[in-house]
């Protein structure tokens, strides 16, 4: 009975509210990178478009076709991603994974809303959909940083806004 109660805890009012109110839905006209993350287990898919300038996220959009948990995670990402650095987003993804898989603490500060997803750790089948937005966002960051590195290696005069875009799908 308690595991059944815990199952209902992961679909609480706050998670359902986040899932129903996802900001920044859609696609960007000119993303710096695009990444798709897909869960084979449940069929959830998240497509993220991202733009970074001077090492910080300045624009973000996503298409989310996921369960309520994946939608809630994507909603939290969309609410707080602007202004984040690549280092911050990688640490967030790693902390989220540790929270779910290793009983780690939830993030603090501007990402503390993620604590609402803490009960998901007891349901391994739900981990993949919950992590999709984090994986796709970090994939975009990696693409943008790699393109900037290649551009600076090839043309020392080019700055970070050289219109190099690589689209990647998982």
The whole-angstrom separation of Cα 11 and Cα 165 is 38
Tens of pLDDT, residues 31-82 = 999 999 999 988 999 999 999 999 999 999 999 999 999 999 999 999 999 9
- The full DSSP string for the chain is -HHHHHHHHTT-HHHHHHHH--SSBS--SS-SEEEEEE-TTT--EEEEEEEEETTEEEEEEEEEE--HHHHHHHHHHHHH-TT-BHHHHHHHHHHHHHHHHS-PPPP-GGGGGGGGGGGGGG-GGGHHHHHHHHHHHHHHHHHHHHHHHHHHHH-TT--S-S---EEEE-
The whole-angstrom separation of Cα 136 and Cα 125 is 19
Sequence spans of domains, the chain: 2-169
CA pseudo-torsion sign 169, 47, 139, 135: negative
In this prediction the pTM is: 0.85
**Burial (Cβ within 10 Å: 0-12, 13-18, ≥19) of residue 105:** exposed
pLDDT category of residue 163 using cuts at 50, 70 and 90: very low
The whole-angstrom separation of Cα 8 and Cα 32 is 39
Q: What mean pLDDT, rounded, does the chain reach? A: 89
pLDDT value of residue 154: 76
CATH architecture label of 2-169: Alpha-Beta Complex (3.90)
Per-residue pLDDT at 153 exceeds 90: no
Per-residue pLDDT at 162 exceeds 50: no
Tens of pLDDT, residues 88-116 = 999 999 999 999 999 999 999 999 999 99
Share of the chain above pLDDT 70, in %: 86
């Amino acid at each position: 009975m308690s595991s059944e109660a815990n199952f209902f805890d992961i679909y609480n009012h706050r998670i359902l509210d986040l899932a129903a109110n996802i900001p920044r839905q859609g696609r960007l006209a000119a993303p710096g990178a695009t990444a798709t993350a897909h869960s084979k287990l449940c069929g959830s898919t998240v497509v993220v478009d991202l733009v970074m300038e001077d090492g910080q996220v300045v624009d973000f959009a996503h298409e989310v076709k996921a369960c309520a948990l994946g939608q809630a995670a994507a909603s939290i990402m969309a609410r707080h991603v602007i202004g984040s650095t690549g280092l911050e987003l990688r640490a967030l993804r790693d902390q989220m994974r540790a929270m779910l898989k290793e009983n780690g603490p939830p993030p603090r500060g501007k990402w503390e809303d993620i604590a609402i997803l803490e009960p998901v750790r007891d349901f391994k089948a739900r981990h993949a959909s919950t992590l999709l937005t984090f994986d796709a966002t970090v994939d975009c960051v990696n693409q943008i940083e790699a393109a900037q590195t290649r551009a600076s290696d090839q043309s020392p005069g080019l700055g970070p806004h050289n219109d190099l875009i690589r689209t990647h799908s998982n």
